[in-house]
Chains A and B, each alone.
Chain A
Amino acid sequence: MSMSEQSVQWYELGPVSSIPLRGSRRVVINDQTIGLFRTATDKVFAIDDQCPHKKGPLSEGIVHDNCVTCPLHNWVISLEDGKAQGADEGCVNTYPVKIEGEQLRIGVALCNKQELATVGD
């Protein structure tokens, strides 16, 4: 993620264990639905919950290695960089995540000044 630390708002998402291994959950931030994925090797990723193909909800897909397979038409999306795998072309946004203790946090870019003001209050 090329976004600089300054323009990111972090959110607390509760314990990592609330996401099943090889599974996913969803979170809605600023009207954007984001899929949270936890792989077999206990890595956590966050990407937009919308397949670049037909907007399928990626968080409903099967998680394998560091990828998820879209439930609608089986596109395979990398959780690391959001890119479609194989011959398919397309990409979804990724978000930075941090794990502090057991707690999961996600960083979401701030879109405008007003939001900064509310958050900074």
Chain B
Amino acid sequence: MKKQSLVVIGNGMAPGRMLEHLIEQNHAFDITIFNAEPRVNYNRLMLSYVLDGNKSYEDIITHTDEWYQQNAITLHKSAPVTDIDTDNKTVCSSNGVSCDYDKLVIATGSSPFVLPLPGKNLDGVLTYRDLDDVETMLSVASESREQSKTLRAVVIGGGLLGLEAAAGLLNQGMLVSVLHLVDTLMEKQLDPSAGWLLAEEFTRRGVDVYTGVQSEAITDNGNGAVAGVQLADGRIIDADLVVMAVGIRPSTALAQQAGINVERGIVVDDHMQTSLADIYALGECAQHNGDVYGLVAPLYVMAKVLADNLIGQPSTYAGSITATRLKVDGVSLYSAGDFSDSPDSEEIVLRDASAGIYKRLVLKDNKIAGAVLYGETSDGPWFFDMLKRGVDISDLRDTLIFGQSFQGGSALNPSEAVAALPDNAEICGCNGICKGTIVAAIDNGSTTLDGVRAVTKASSSCGTCTGLVEQILTFKLGSEYQPAAVTPVCPCTDYGHDDVRRLIRLKSLRSIPEVMQQLQWKTSCGCAKCRPALNYYLVCEYPSDYKDDYQSRFINERAHANIQKDGTYSIVPRMWGGETSSLQLRTIADVVDKYNIPTVKVTGGQRIDMLGIQKEDLIHVWRDLGKAGFVSGHAYAKGLRTVKTCVGTDWCRFGTQDSTGLGIKIEKFMWGSWTPAKVKMAVSGCPRNCAEATCKDVGVICVDSGYEIHFAGAAGLDIKGTEVLGHSDNEDEVIEIIAALLQMYREQGHYLERIYKWARRVGFDEVKAQIMEDTDKREEYFNRFMQSQKVAQIDPWAERVSGTHDHEFNNITPLPVKSEAPLRLVQ
């Protein structure tokens, strides 16, 4: 019998989840998906994390191309459906693909609402909805970082999305303003008091919050790009980027055109069926019982109901009450249910001004109707659970607002609060995971956070329930579970980085297997997280006798080149202090031609990157470069990368010292040393700072009286100006200070922790005290650095050209075994 054809229009999170349910239940459909976006299914909730720089697009992909292939699902990308022919049961897309269906699911989602303001089509005006929007915002933000001036972003709309966008852009280093039409931020989820606390918090972080303002026009800079937003009261807010986040609108045009009943959304019944047989709607475009939903939890419930109905297991959707959390680092905010004032409602309010806590419960008929929590939200799920179950709270009323842990007079122990939750209390809102499911996973042997995530998906989407999941682990496992006060190095051990380093020293452990044995590693030979860390700690501790464990280094440090996405490599030779010569340039040009290197690029660290080299060619490229005196630039290393310089007194009319010369001296002194994470330095010849030394791990600013030494800057995921370490009036002392600083970091930094994070952890003043004030200490650090440099400065490229680790660069040659040739089919 021919399989029934199931066609899905739209490839967002709701249909993605529906497909997972269908696959789990061994469906018997031929499935075809039409996606208007040119990509696979990704987790839209996580866009805020992409914008604030904590995740990349790859991290938020839900289903890869291979997933569709493996599950025999046909996915048409960049193929918006333009027509549904309900008589002939067929759909066709703008790029001419047509497909017959037996069952059709419309999941067209919603589109952002664009205010009909003059200037809405100018360059730099966008909405906040999909990855393209986020990428545009990121590129403007990075432009802002590259130019000396800070660019301004204006977000129109102070709702959930608008505030997440504002926080993300702020994190990317832009100056951000939020314009909101009504007086309360997030007025749909918050009451005025909580809204005010939220506005205060954003203001404190440096966002200009304007409430009760109406945007009237977007002004032009004369070149077709945005210059600002004009308000109804005549004020103009300058802007290089305008983000409209004023709400979403269900995308219903296609359904309407096909004659399906549409109101605010596409009207569906309890089985998710539209007004026409065999056509269903799902997600943000669907309207059930008068409600349209824009949060993920109800959409996932709909996805499950629809999947059940499609495979013939009748199931009904009963509507959802939703709870909201704002995904902004450091802001705790939870809201659920209905909290508008009405004659028949009562309220209980708790305020703690000094702690910035505000909690409000709205009661109707002795039941919780709504809850708003700000500042301290751990009781949110408990309140929400009682709200959903309609629990009569008369007996608890006097102490209800103090939360679950207060009930019964027990001590305020958070894990007891979780212990008291019923099994059907929802812990992970994104994935709809109840406490019972998590408890079952723990009973079946998942005793770590990672373990529970792997089995249940709880806390694996937006991550805000991680603390609750950890509390369930604590309550189930008692003292066996250590809710990471210390973050372990990796799941192979319970020890944190500091503990491991301390124990290596105390117990004088001298190899990776010895560390693993003595510290009771839980795996036989570690993992890709702990092995490189242990290897570094041992290299640092015993520079002259530890034998580097080659197999515990990442591929870049094994191949001494940077792996690219297609498996080729890029290499960067050292150009001391960023200075080069005609001989060097000619050699590079010859090498590029000889080995057909496809891309040559100048890096931000003042040197030249050659990209797209085949692994087998690396040795030959290095041999040719080596003849002209080039050595590895360690562009792949957790070690010294570059020392960027400006030209200083040699040429510059403003130069106060020989900055290039000092940069070269520092680079020649430091190269080859392994550090916890990469180290980038710079020397500027005057306070104009053309070498941008004040955002480097270590920077020197030359002044008339000598040298100002800076440290702990950052200009990557985080942006941070340097701290001043101290001043010196001679070059040798500058080098001694920097070497001592680097050694202190080498001995204390956690693997992969950059200088600025290490220094923030131990305290900037502590670093200054040990390096600048305690000269004995400085000398000790300096001597240990010198000791380790004695064996570190060996050019790895020359070493490999002479044959070291040659297996790394050659494939094995296979020889067919004739005697075992299986069949004799020769005619």
Contact = CB atoms under 8 A, between A and B. Distances in A.
Interface of A: 5-14, 18-23, 25-29, 36, 39-41, 52-57, 60-65, 69, 71-74, 76, 86-87, 89-91, 105-106, 110, 113, 116-117, 119-121
B486 to A, nearest CB: 22
Given A26-B812, A63-B551, A105-B817, A57 B528 contact: no
Interface string B546-557: 000011101110
Contacts of B824: 120
Contacts of B402: none
A26 B811 contact: yes
A71 B66 contact: no
Contacts of A121: 826
B64 A120 contact: no
B533 to A, nearest CB: 12
Contacts of A105: 817
Contacts, number: 137
Nearest to A117: B826
A7 B822 contact: yes
A62 B524 CA distance: 14
B825 A60 contact: no
Contact of A65 (B525, B555, B817): B525
Contact of A87 (B67, B460, B551, B563): B460
B58 interface: yes
Given A62-B554, A119-B818, 11 more contacts: A6-B822, A8-B822, A10-B820, A22-B551, A40-B525, A53-B64, A71-B555, A72-B563, A87-B457, A105-B817, A120-B823
B816 interface: yes
A113 B825 contact: yes
Contacts of A19: 807
Contacts of A76: 527-528
A12 B813 CA distance: 9
Contact of B555 (A26, A36, A61): A61
B551 A69 contact: no
Given A9-B816, A60-B559, A116 B528 contact: no
A61 B812 contact: no
Contact of A12 (B453, B526, B527, B814): B814
B67 A90 contact: yes
Given A12-B815, A90-B66, A105-B817, A5 B822 contact: yes
Given A87-B460, A120-B824, A18 B524 contact: no
Nearest to B567: A57
B109 to A, nearest CB: 24
B563 A60 contact: yes
B462 to A, nearest CB: 15
27 contacts: A9-B821, A9-B822, A10-B820, A11-B814, A12-B814, A12-B815, A13-B814, A20-B551, A22-B552, A25-B807, A25-B812, A26-B811, A39-B525, A53-B64, A55-B567, A56-B565, A60-B558, A64-B525, A64-B528, A65-B523, A87-B453, A87-B454, A90-B66, A116-B825, A117-B825, A119-B816, A121-B826
A92 to B, nearest CB: 10
A116 B825 CA distance: 7
Given A11-B816, A54-B58, A120 B821 contact: yes
A14 B812 contact: yes
B816 A60 contact: no
Contact residue range for chain B? 35 or more
B117 to A, nearest CB: 41
Nearest to A62: B528
Interface of B: 58, 64, 66-67, 70, 450, 453-454, 457, 460, 523-528, 531-532, 550-552, 554-556, 558-559, 563, 565, 567, 807, 811-818, 820-827
A53 B70 CA distance: 12
Contacts of B818: 119
Contacts of B453: 87
Nearest to A89: B67
A12 B817 contact: yes
Nearest to A106: B814
Contact of A18 (B526, B812, B827): B812
Contacts of B567: 55-57, 60
A50 B644 CA distance: 38
A27 B814 contact: yes
B812 A13 contact: yes
B561 to A, nearest CB: 11
B524 A40 contact: yes
Given A28-B811, A60-B563, A74-B528, A120 B825 contact: yes
Contacts of A20: 550-551, 807
Contacts of A73: 58
A58 B555 CA distance: 10
A47 B525 CA distance: 20
Nearest to A67: B527
A113 B523 CA distance: 46
A21 B816 CA distance: 25
A110 B136 CA distance: 49
B555 A60 contact: yes
B554 A71 contact: yes
Given A6-B823, A26-B812, A117-B826, A86 B526 contact: no
A1 B399 CA distance: 63
Contacts of B563: 57, 60, 71-72
A7 B821 CA distance: 9
Contact of B822 (A26, A110, A113): A110
A56 B555 CA distance: 12
